[in-house]
Structure 1
């Protein structure tokens, strides 16, 4: 017989494949050796610290090349799992410590990652987290609340966040910084044609801005500097414009403003500013020279409005020469009073010394 309980069973029964009971406590899926089983490598979900560590180089490289598709491919390789929202959190935190043009790039990146790497829920969760983190963020970025408000408004304008997001968060937050950020976003979104204007919430990047706009910003920068005497703030404003190729305009505006002021205090402040920017290699010798030479070319017109223009110019150039930031070429080419050309026809091409009558 086949035997009963506790015996070996019928002879040859060990050769017959037994039915597998998956509910059996002794069931071991690894022991199955048939074609229906496929083994896959399971990579554990990354920790918050690992995501932050891997996100930073991707974002910084993106700031260099500006290719959102390349950044998306890099993010796709990260095993973030349910923590994909952290990509947005860390990208915004990095952008806060960078220039307005980088913040613009980050807004574009978030928009391009939406639907591919992150969902609307991920983006909403990210901004909710950032609102909670504001007390810490303002320690490194004092205007973090305003910056975050801009990011939220832009995300709504780009359809990455629902319009009701701002109001929902307003009802939940208790932190003053978070309220400030949401109030900023609400104000931007409430403006007439707000959604359209938010395309430029960070300003147009660097050299893409119109020349008139840049000239106006430099004039305002100089006026503010003359009022406050704050060198550091003036330097920051100039760097924020991100137009090193246009710094000759600042030199030009500074010299013209000095001539029009006919004021020793203004001459002293402007000389101090130009010297500081020159010493920090923010304004290069070439830009400095171009700025002064442009003033020289316009002197016949300037002196129509300012009769003492040549006298003030001579005094200012001599002050700048003592400051050590104008070249001999700039000094040699300084025009004489009432002369549009710098070289007299009858002196054999010799550069005239600056003779002021």
Structure 2
């Protein structure tokens, strides 16, 4: 019995020893978990402290223990209220901020105008859009480079409306007074027909592309530049005076333009120009300022051109100067009408009784042909007109067919006309014919 009790006591002591060991181990584990939890909270507090140190310098002086959160504050991480101890705890922006909030209850928004600098700006959704072309103002070099070809083309077609349309595409700006200056300067170096065209152009453009003050300023500058203009055009003072008179007659220049120079002119060339303009304006009869430059080119009547070409040929037969005849024909400015000169020259040979006339006319036509002044087409047209008119010419000149044959052969030998044109020369042939009584007779046939 005693041994059994001892065994029971020993067993009970073992059980108590095991229970004590388990309790000790559980306490150690609990203390370790608590230390681990505190370490985690301390690390979290340190991270928050580092984040808030840049925004609040005062929080760097607080101890780690003061910044440790209680275990029950984990659910407040989404709260946007300040936990630094500052502020009144009111919602931000008075309740008008945050996601899904359109503003305060009493706030009224105005219609915002679209900003063109906005990346989402769309022209198509902003209604009607007006586009304007901005043309920069021309400088001196660009002005001369752009306007000079326009004036040169105007000398060819003579259409003032075309010039106005082209000038409308340019931004002349302060260079408007240089437009008439450039036009007149180019006309002084050109022909009489060019000066007439410039006078018309100034009259048509004044009030549209330039003002009367611009034209007056241009003529003031031209009067001052006469010493330089005379070097290229010796007759520039007289021509400028004609320009001034024509411009005043066309109401391009103001009526007091000449009066503003009385007693103020020191240069001789300018005085000559102003005197010329004064004389032309004071003449009521004998001179029409509309024709101050004469009537040139294709504007002349056909009868007048024919008369001047006939006079040109007669003067050549007296002087035998081909260069002078070529210059006179060039001054007529009718290259499309040179066939009339060829026609009149051949008819003059057929109607002349002197053999010297034929040689001189061949020499003149050869000079025109070699210089290229009379083209192949104009030369052929002039001869063909003579060939067609031979039946009428032969009535006044019975020997015209034989004279024409020899003249055409001579021209072909000198290289004035081609072989094909020589073959087209008509001849008068004779062939026998039978009368009603059966006798033979000679009948002339024109071919």
Inter-partner Cα distance in structure 2 for 1:312 and 1:89: 56
Q: What does residue 233 of structure 2 align with?
A: 141
Inter-partner Cα distance in structure 2 for 1:345 and 1:147: 69
Q: What does residue 294 of structure 1 align with?
A: 385
Q: TM-score of the superposition, structure 1-length normalised? A: 0.68
Inter-partner Cα distance in structure 2 for 1:134 and 1:226: 40
Measured after TM superposition, the shift of residue 258 of structure 1 is 3.3
Q: What does residue 108 of structure 1 align with?
A: 200
Deviations 1:125-161 (A, max 9, x none): 2223223323332333344344333322221221112
Task: Give the gaps of 5 or more residues in structure 1.
Answer: 1-42, 347-351
Is 1:220 the counterpart of 2:314? The answer is no
Q: What does residue 88 of structure 1 align with?
A: 180
Q: What does residue 78 of structure 1 align with?
A: 171
Give yes or no for contact 1:262–1:312 (8 Å, CA) kept in 2: no
The root-mean-square deviation of aligned C-alpha atoms, in Å, is 3.8
Summarize the Cα distance change of 1:115–1:305 in structure 2 as closer, same or farther, 3 Å threshold: same
49-58 vs 104-113, greater mean Cα deviation: 49-58
Q: What does residue 189 of structure 2 align with?
A: 97
Q: TM-score of the superposition, structure 2-length normalised? A: 0.56
Inter-partner Cα distance in structure 2 for 1:276 and 1:332: 23
Give yes or no for contact 2:137–2:171 (8 Å, CA) kept in 1: no
Give yes or no for contact 1:259–1:313 (8 Å, CA) kept in 2: yes
Inter-partner Cα distance in structure 1 for 2:342 and 2:360: 13
Summarize the Cα distance change of 1:343–1:106 in structure 2 as closer, same or farther, 3 Å threshold: farther
SS of equivalent residue, structure 1 residue 239: helix
Is 1:257 the counterpart of 2:348? The answer is yes
Q: What does residue 22 of structure 2 align with?
A: none
Inter-partner Cα distance in structure 2 for 1:142 and 1:317: 44
Inter-partner Cα distance in structure 2 for 1:345 and 1:292: 31
Measured after TM superposition, the shift of residue 313 of structure 1 is 3.7
Q: What does residue 6 of structure 1 align with?
A: none
Q: What does residue 337 of structure 2 align with?
A: 246
Residue 370 (structure 2) aligned to one of 268, 279, 292:
279
Residue 209 (structure 2) aligned to one of 92, 111, 117:
117
Inter-partner Cα distance in structure 1 for 2:142 and 2:238: 29
Inter-partner Cα distance in structure 2 for 1:298 and 1:86: 54
Deviations 1:280-339 (A, max 9, x none): 333232322222233344445545655665565444333312211123344334444xx5
70-79 vs 107-116, greater mean Cα deviation: 70-79
Task: Report the count of equivalent residues.
Answer: 302
Q: What does residue 53 of structure 1 align with?
A: 145
Inter-partner Cα distance in structure 1 for 2:261 and 2:355: 54
Q: What does residue 292 of structure 2 align with?
A: 201
Which structure would you say has the larger Rg?
2
Summarize the Cα distance change of 1:139–1:306 in structure 2 as closer, same or farther, 3 Å threshold: farther
Give yes or no for contact 1:170–1:182 (8 Å, CA) kept in 2: no
Give yes or no for contact 2:345–2:361 (8 Å, CA) kept in 1: yes
Measured after TM superposition, the shift of residue 187 of structure 1 is 4.5
Inter-partner Cα distance in structure 2 for 1:182 and 1:258: 49
Summarize the Cα distance change of 1:305–1:73 in structure 2 as closer, same or farther, 3 Å threshold: closer
Measured after TM superposition, the shift of residue 79 of structure 1 is 4.0
Measured after TM superposition, the shift of residue 88 of structure 1 is 0.6
Q: What does residue 409 of structure 2 align with?
A: 318
Inter-partner Cα distance in structure 1 for 2:418 and 2:328: 26
SS of equivalent residue, structure 1 residue 160: coil
Residue 150 (structure 1) aligned to one of 217, 242, 247:
242
SS of equivalent residue, structure 2 residue 225: helix
Q: What does residue 27 of structure 1 align with?
A: none
217-226 vs 46-55, greater mean Cα deviation: 46-55
Measured after TM superposition, the shift of residue 167 of structure 1 is 6.0
SS of equivalent residue, structure 2 residue 246: helix
Give yes or no for contact 2:349–2:358 (8 Å, CA) kept in 1: yes
Residue 219 (structure 2) aligned to one of 123, 127, 130:
127
Q: What does residue 78 of structure 2 align with?
A: none
